[in-house]
Amino acid sequence: RSPRRHASGSRAPMDWLKSVHFYRKVPADLTEATLAGGTLSLLSAIAMAYLFFSNFAAFLQVETLTSVRLDESTDQKIQINFNVTLHMLPCRFASVDIADIMGTHLQNVSTNLIKTRISAAGVPIGKAAPKPRVVSHAVARTENAPKVSPELDEEDLHGAVTDHKLVLVNFYAPWCPWSRRLQPVWEEAFANVLNEPFAADVLMAKADCTGKGEVLCRNQHIHAFPTIRVFRHGATISHESYVGDRTHQAFESFLANNVHDDDHAEAVRSGDSEMNEQGEGCAIRGVVLVNRVPGNFHISAHSKAHSFQPGMLNMSHSVGRMTFGRPLSASMMRLLSDEVAAAHDSLAGTVHVAAGQNMTLEHYLKVVHTSQLFGSRQINTYQYTANSNYYQDGTSLPSAVFSYDLSPMQVLVRRQRKSFASFLTQLCAILGGVFTVTGLLDGIVYHGSATLKRKMQVGKLI
């Protein structure tokens, strides 16, 4: 009797579990298979398989969620990283200036910038000085200096360089104040040189770029006034520019020291002259810190010893890089979403050509602070849109302008994967729904066909 009581006690939990069975089975001999039911079952199996794999693929993908809030950055300044190449502006005249609506105006910024001289073919030919040399100017010793320096045109230049070992040509414009300041000093210095033993081997000439020497100036690619070119040993095209002081002693010493030199090497080493290439340009790269207010930085021609004629300046340029904020490493760039990465450097690789004379090329940059979130990790960067506009700026000097405006909003980008619980819930809902709907359709088809058969048997179907 004791073993029986033990057996009945152990069966009680099993019987209780059977009583709560939700899916009780119907014996197979009490079920009926139909052709329509089999077709519906096959279609439902295909539908469930398709939905399963499509939802599994969606589960493996990473979702990008974007939200917007007020910018919480407390930084007073923002860093601009750029690499811009001016194809037709020499480095000695290229000036980076910064201005904003708060009244800030910085001219010829050189801190954290590197200027590289490039040839017309875009090949680097050497680094340029961060700031141009300060040139000393002399005052005329007499009120009306005699004009002993000859005026040259294209034809006269050939005879001048043929007859002399060393020729200095002052390319000037009568409207230029620096040219007017140099003219009497130039005449007096040449008058002094005529008394030297080497006077027959040298010549200090001049060319009016607005009159008789206009064609000569254009062929010599003169950008600024006055420009002093050095012609040696009969060459009619010179790439050597005198960049020393504009004093009587400086001119006389230069001629005395170089009249018997075979080339320009010594003059370049001393800093009195500089070698230039035809069509020389300038690549400027580096970083500038600006206030977090609307403003611009622009690149234009500037010199404390020259004047420029607007129609002779060409501000065509290409942008290698233009980003805001701290530079991101390659590994950090790979973590950014495609949309953020595409707008991180919108101007990169673009080329902008000045189609006419005195053409200013301006770019309007709308900058938005963007944070990419990865759980507890965060990458802060900036993305921007760029619109470019080219226009003629009257009598002002043309420039390449980059105007920026920072949005007061901040974009938060979060990348996350769907949770497994969510995937499982969605999968059960889909598969269960397909199974239930298929069962309803099977019931409708089965009972509908059975009703039609009964009506046909009793003769009520017409």
Please tell me whether the peptide bond between 226 and the residue prior to it is cis, using omega within 30 degrees of 0. Answer: yes
Q: What's the farthest any 2 CA atoms get from each other in the chain?
A: 148
- According to DSSP, the β-strands at 224-225 and 307-308 are antiparallel
Query: Contact, 117 vs 128, CB < 8 A?
Result: yes
Which of 378, 352, 367 lies closest to 409, judged by CA?
A: 367
Token pair in block for residue 440: 């309803």
Cα gap 182→137, rounded to integer Å: 8
Query: Contact, 319 vs 386, CB < 8 A?
Result: no
Cα gap 139→436, rounded to integer Å: 103
Tell me the three state secondary structure of residue 294: coil
Cα gap 247→137, rounded to integer Å: 6
Active-site residue, 176 included: yes
Catalytic residue, chosen from 176, 209, 217, 282, is 176
Burial 114-123 (b: 16+ CB within 10 A, else e): ebbbbeeeee
Cα gap 17→88, rounded to integer Å: 90
Burial 57-95 (b: 16+ CB within 10 A, else e): eebeeeeeeeeeeebeeeeeebbbbbbbbbbbbbbbbbb
Q: What are the residue numbers of the active site?
A: 176
